[in-house]
With several copies, the nearest count.
Chain A
Amino acid sequence: MSSKPEITGNEPAPRLNRAAIAKRAARDLVDGSTVNLGIGIPAMCADFLPDGVELLYHAENGILGFKELSAPGEGDPNLMDAGGKFPKLVPGMAFFDSVESFSLIRGGHIDVTVLGALQVSRSGDLANWVVPKRGIGSIGGAMDLAANAKKVVIAMEHNAHGDIAKIVEECTFPLTAPGCVDEIITDIAVIEIDRENGLMVLREVAPGWTFDDVQARTEARLEAADKIDQMA
């Protein structure tokens, strides 16, 4: 089971909020790419795209090119996103069935997917579909996306409730896909995964945080990048 890292004293500085995590994740999204955002923090990336960046959003249920959602209480059940919300009809959208939708995913045509996680291991294994003690979970499109998107970014809170580590040496939760994660963006750090060498490289920390502060809240062994930047 997940271990509790030893944390001494209070947090060195406030953690980023969920919107700030999304904003940081959005900064890495390349103009014009085909992107699938998971529910929660990942979906919020769409609200924080840098100027001049336009993405082609894909939803598993068969849309490419949707943008903002309809107002609550409005919207058309026949124009849903994969999270069960109702986007607005915009020009340039394309509708298709689930066969085509998952051909796009499995065929490696999604440039980036941003997903949430329960655990990520040092070698980039991802667990995000079932909590072992519950014994039943939902896979949905997560396994297809994690195994086949060109780039897999995890946007999540660094620790679970009770300061439980989510970034671990080895996942103890059932996997979504092994060795798939490229980058993790949390409320205290940006970590790149060098899968070839099985290394987690800490590239950025939240303002007021140090490598040691982050390592203390991370079960997996971290390497320091040559230069550790401040998240912004």
Chain B
Amino acid sequence: MQLYSAKTLRSVCDARPKDRTIRLVVPINKISNSFSEAVADIPSGASIMIGGFGGAGGQPTRLMLALRDLGIGDLTIIGNVAGISKTTGYGWPDDLDPIDQGMFFESGQATKITCSFPVPGTTNPLSEIEKAWREGNAEVDIVPQGTLIERIRAAGAGIPAFYTPTGVGTSVAEGKEHRDFDGRTHLLEHALTADFALIRAQKADTRGNLQYIGTSRAFNPAMATAARTTIVEVDEIVGIGGIDSERVGTLSTYVDRIVQRETGDYLP
């Protein structure tokens, strides 16, 4: 075995510019008293991941409403299926008026969205995102869903970039590095982070462990790992031990703030 001295190795290794801010998990401090308090420090110009898949289940609807009411602007939104529920009813119970990410474009607060599904098949009526895009008020960055979630996962997992076969030979591939592995062409895709993640879970314990239910996981667990600050809306906050250790969907280390919904909230 050869010996390696630091001197020869350092030539390929820059100093680590990693974020060394130690993030505490002192349980009591994670619980916010209200949705408005939980989002109060989000500044204009922030990038914000919004969890769920699209539709009511798994969407942090109360946090979104609080963010809208905060009135800040120039936001970049990162979502998945975005802004189509209001015009199509997608993923919402029939008896409720859908609420979706289009609200930030209706209000003019958001100027950009990165997502996989920003418009429905029909254009009558126009969705808020398409309206803003047509009027030149919003940049819409459309990413294949698998690439989008993998980029978010990568940001949380310390992977700055990876190769994927998805999107090769399409407009998605424009300007991207191509590389063949085992005779198949792939694209280089980069990690996607954000200043904040607003996510939704069924339960949190006071330490910040989260439990999800059914298909409400979707983008929530990965976004929790990828944003600098993760804020979660839950139906219920329970004590330590109130979540089965086998069913923790997001580790407490990733969670910064928890807000509990009011009992009997009519919104899903």
Contacts and interface: CB of A to CB of B under 8 A. Distances in A.
Direct contact of A and B (CB under 8 A): yes
Nearest to A30: B22
Interface stretch (A15-23, A43-51, A158-166, A169-177): A169-177
Interface stretch (B37-45, B103-111, B239-247): B239-247
B261 to A, nearest CB: 14
Contact of B157 (A91, A103, A130): A103
B144 A143 contact: yes
A123 B6 contact: yes
Contact of A172 (B3, B140, B153): B3
A92 B243 CA distance: 7
A150 B55 contact: no
A32 B207 CA distance: 9
A29 to B, nearest CB: 10
B6 A79 contact: no
A142 B171 CA distance: 14
Interface in B55-102: 55-58, 80-81, 84-85, 88-95
Interface stretch (A6-14, A133-141, A205-213): A133-141
B48 interface: no
Interface in B95-154: 95, 116-121, 123, 130, 133, 140, 142-147, 149-150, 153
Contacts of B53: 60-62, 80, 82, 98
Nearest to B220: A97
A205 to B, nearest CB: 26
A170 B20 CA distance: 24
- Chain B: interface residue count, which band? 35 or more
B228 to A, nearest CB: 11
A106 interface: yes
Chain A, interface SS category? loop
A37 interface: no
Contacts of A147: 16, 165-168
B52 to A, nearest CB: 9
Given A150-B20, A151-B20, A134 B123 contact: yes
B188 interface: no
Contacts of B145: 60, 98, 102, 139-141, 143-144
Nearest to A107: B158
B258 to A, nearest CB: 14
A64 B57 contact: no
Interface string B23-36: 11111000000000
B55 A77 contact: yes
Given A79-B215, A84-B91, A96-B217, A170 B7 contact: yes
Contacts of A142: 144
Interface of B: 1, 3-7, 9-10, 13, 15-16, 18-27, 53-58, 80-81, 84-85, 88-95, 116-121, 123, 130, 133, 140, 142-147, 149-150, 153, 155-159, 164-172, 202, 205, 207, 209, 212-222, 225, 240-241, 245-246, 248-249, 251-254, 268
Q: Which 5 A-B pairs have the closest CB atoms?
A: A91-B241, A106-B158, A102-B146, A103-B157, A178-B169
Given A138-B84, A179-B169, 7 more contacts: A60-B145, A95-B214, A97-B217, A98-B145, A106-B164, A139-B142, A173-B3
